[in-house]
Amino acid sequence: MKNMQIKDKKIAVIGGGPGGLTLARLLQLKGTDVQVYERDIDKDARVQGAPLDMHEASGMAALIKADLLAEFKNNFMPGADKTLILNEQAEVHFSDHEKNLEEDFGNENFRPEIDRGVLRKILLASLAPDTVVWDSHFISMERHNEGWMLYFKNGLSVYADLVIGSDGANSKIRPYLTEIKPFYSGITMLEGNVYDAKKAVPQMYSLINGGKIMAFGNGKNILMGQKGGGDLGFYLSFKANENWSEESDVDFSDRTAVLEWFKREYPNWSSVWYEIFKKAATPFIPRPIYCAPLDQNWKTLSNLTLIGDAAHVMPPFAGEGANMAMLDALELSECLTSADYGSLQEAILAYEIKMWERAANAAKKSLENGENMHAGNALKTMLAFFNPH
């Protein structure tokens, strides 16, 4: 039976990432009136980022509940979770490429990878027509009756009884719920992409062999992964001041300037790495890494909540971001459609209490991993983690 709490209620999800789309799918399966407002002009507006590895108890659990497991199996990237661990000289210290890695769905240690763009297509195709309202750049909202009036850049204004912020790390919805701000983790990443990697960077393409690379040296990292469509994404990860990108004087649209910076800041790193800089698309994108306070909470409202990075942004060093967002979607949809709660506020509180605790544990693990990965003995630590025997 549909829960009376959201019967006849209009639900607005702000942001059409994995979390927001998963939530819309799960709510629609329960017969709920939900719209997703997404700032992108249309579904093809931008290239999605690096592939995601789905975890059994979170991302995969949400996909199974959304009845999308078969679609996922048809579209994931077999072998993309294969890993190489290198030192700064690009010498291989660990490889699981030789192992016969079974595609073992249902095994908690199996983390199948899927291209973000492909996952988005699967989720979009699962929704009722016109669920996503494109070109809806959220500007502001104000209380109206029991809910909210939402205002968008394109002049659209809509009423919603319940608003769910799924609009990422720089959420515009979050300030309506809490003044608590994420803190800087001390780590910055510089993102680069190489299109048609087989042709552009044959040496690195051959080495990565459809999987991923983690390289450690001098307290700095290069993290790299095969993307769908033959592209290759990479991140330089290092400790820096929060305002490094403004203070560094590096022209991120100039490959040569970025390569010169790399030579200075990654001393003793092999020239093997240079090819990815020479062939990368520009501009490179600096990403200071933030984390929500581990003890955060706020006063639960009856008409507003958050999922994903909007609720609990965390460093990417545990691979939990999208998985947490999709698990948020699963747990929130269950609470909102359960008959166990006397009010919408009670249902949202039940979700938020679990979410805060779960996110704090994941963020703590991710912060610890980040410290380990940027320590002087990072290579040794990571080898022990991947090869405990």
CA-to-CA distance for 351 and 335, rounded, in angstroms?
6
The residue out of 291, 314, 344 marking a domain boundary is 291
Range of the domain at 199: 183-291
**Confidence check: pLDDT of 280 > 80:** yes
CA nearest 12: which of 38, 30, 31? 38
Q: Could you identify the residue written with the tokens 């319940």?
A: 162
Dihedral pair phi/psi, residue 159, rounded to 5°? -100, 140
Residue type, 88: E
Q: What is the CATH number of the domain that holds 230?
A: 3.30.9.30
* 358 has binding-site annotation: no
Whether 137 and 233 map to the same domain: the answer is no
Residue 137, exposed/middle/buried by CB under 10 A (0-12, 13-18, 19+)?
A: middle
Helix/strand/coil for 239: strand
130 is in an annotated binding site: no
- Region of poorest pLDDT, from 109-118, 161-170, 246-255: 109-118
Evaluate whether residue 389 is within a structural domain.
no
Confirm whether residue 264 is marked as ligand binding.
no
On whether residue 85 sits in a domain, the answer given is: no
Judge whether 98 lies within some domain.
no
Per-residue confidence (pLDDT) for residue 49, from 0 to 100: 60
Answer whether 324's CB lies under 8 Å from 308's CB.
Answer: yes
Calculate ∠ Cα 318-324-327, nearest 5°: 145
Q: Of 231, 262, 291, which one is at a domain's C-terminal end? A: 291
- Model confidence at 11, pLDDT cuts 50, 70, 90, reads very high
Helices (H) and strands (E) in the chain — how many of each?
Answer: 13, 17
In the prediction, which pLDDT does 209 show? 87
- As a whole number of angstroms, the distance between CA 304 and CA 315 comes to 25
pTM here?
0.92
Query: Domain check: are 58 and 195 in the same one?
Result: no
Whether pLDDT at 10 is above 70: yes
Q: How many CB atoms lie within 10 A of CB 253?
A: 10
Q: Per the domain annotation, does 101 fall within a domain?
A: no
| Ramachandran class of 219: left when φ > 0, alpha when ψ lies in -120 to 50, beta otherwise | left
pLDDT band at 2 (very low <50, low <70, confident <90, very high): very low
* Residue 350, SS3 per DSSP: helix
Beta-strand pair 33-37/10-14: parallel
d(CA 332, CA 44): 28
116 is in an annotated binding site: yes
Q: Evaluate whether residue 388 is within a structural domain.
A: no
Query: 68 and 207: one domain?
Result: no
**C-alpha separations of 357 from 56, 81, 201, 333 in Å:** 19, 28, 43, 18
In the chain, the amino acid numbered 164 is I
Mean pLDDT of all residues in 344-366? 96
CB atoms within 10 A of CB 45: 11
Residue 35 corresponds to which tokens in the numbers above? 């719209």
Q: Say what the alpha-carbon torsion angle 140, 143, 146, 151 is, to the nearest 10 degrees.
A: -30
Question: Is 215 among the domain residues?
Answer: yes
Q: Is residue 31 part of a domain?
A: yes
Do 213 and 340 lie in one domain? The reply is: no
Residues 191 and 162 grouped into a single domain: no
pLDDT tens for each residue of 83-125: 899 999 999 999 887 765 556 676 666 778 888 888 999 999 9
